[in-house]
Amino acid sequence: MKILVVYYSMYGHTLKLARAATEGAREIAGAEVILRRVQEFEDVDKEIDKHEHARAMREQQKDIPICTVEDLREADGVLLGSPTRYGNMTAQMKHLIDKTASLWLKGEMEGKPAGVFTSTASTHGGQETTLLTMMVPLLHLGMLVVGVPYSLPEMIHTEARGGTPYGATTITGAKGELEPKSEDLNIARALGRRVAEIAAKLRA
Ligand SMILES: Cc1cc2nc3c(=O)[nH]c(=O)nc-3n(C[C@H](O)[C@H](O)[C@H](O)COP(=O)(O)O)c2cc1C
């Protein structure tokens, strides 16, 4: 059983959630979990060249393979992570999704579980809108969207941190100065585990 964790991250926060989701999925027996990043745009890549921190983060990710449509086709369950851009997923992530017409035509993603995660700079910067709108194309593809249940102890809180029933999240700060809290990572781990667990049950 193959689980794909695919993400986009410019400053590394979404990558940390992606790694936690990967760890969680790996806890399920028989899960072969692969981590993939989304292709960067050429013009954004040129901008990154000018910024030391973004350059360093790109360097950290260079060995993570780029996600292909084939990776999506082969997956039995998928976790998708994107930073929030104006309350939505990044164009880079949407670009990958928009390449899936061949999968949609043949119904190749139908019945596969999917979970989503995101990061925002600010507390009310649109985590839920990003997660909910990320789910829309997944539903068009016929995927079974999986959230985070409130039975997870980290879920009920009033602190400045992530964690929504729609998916895993974290808050980065305006300058990316914050790190994902341990609770945010636990929720991402739980989401990865849940998608893999459901994929295993569906295959059985
Ligand atoms: C064009 C643009 C739009 C953004 N829109 C939002 C937003 O709507 N809400 C928010 O809280 N943060 C917003 N941010 C901040 C990003 O969400 C933040 O940098 C990102 O979550 C960091 O994730 P990363 O470390 O994985 O790159 C925006 C950033 C950019 C560059």
Distance in Å, CA 49 to ligand 1 centroid: 19
d(C-alpha 40, C-alpha 100), whole Å = 17
pTM, entire model: 0.98
Please give all residues whose beta carbon lies within 6 A of any atom in ligand 1, as ranges: 9-14, 83-87, 119-122, 125-126, 172, 176
Helices (H) and strands (E) in the chain, counts: 8, 6
- DSSP H or E stretch at residue 5: strand 2-7
Q: Are 48 and 18 in contact (CB under 8 A)?
A: no
| Confidence band of 45 (pLDDT split at 50, 70, 90) | very high
Structural domains in the chain (count):
1
Distances (CA, A) of 83 to 23, 50, 120, 132, 133: 20, 21, 6, 13, 13
- Per residue in 59-91, pLDDT (tens digit) is 999 999 999 999 999 999 999 999 999 999 999
Average pLDDT, the chain: 98
Distance in Å, CA 156 to ligand 1 centroid: 24
- For residue 151, what is the domain's CATH number? 3.40.50.360
pLDDT the model gives residue 179: 97
Distance in Å, CA 159 to ligand 1 centroid: 20
- Per residue in 102-135, pLDDT (tens digit) is 999 999 999 999 999 999 999 999 999 999 999 9
Q: Which domain holds residue 30?
A: 2-203
pLDDT the model gives residue 193: 98
Radius of gyration, CA atoms only, the chain: 16
Closest CA to 113 of 81, 134, 142: 142
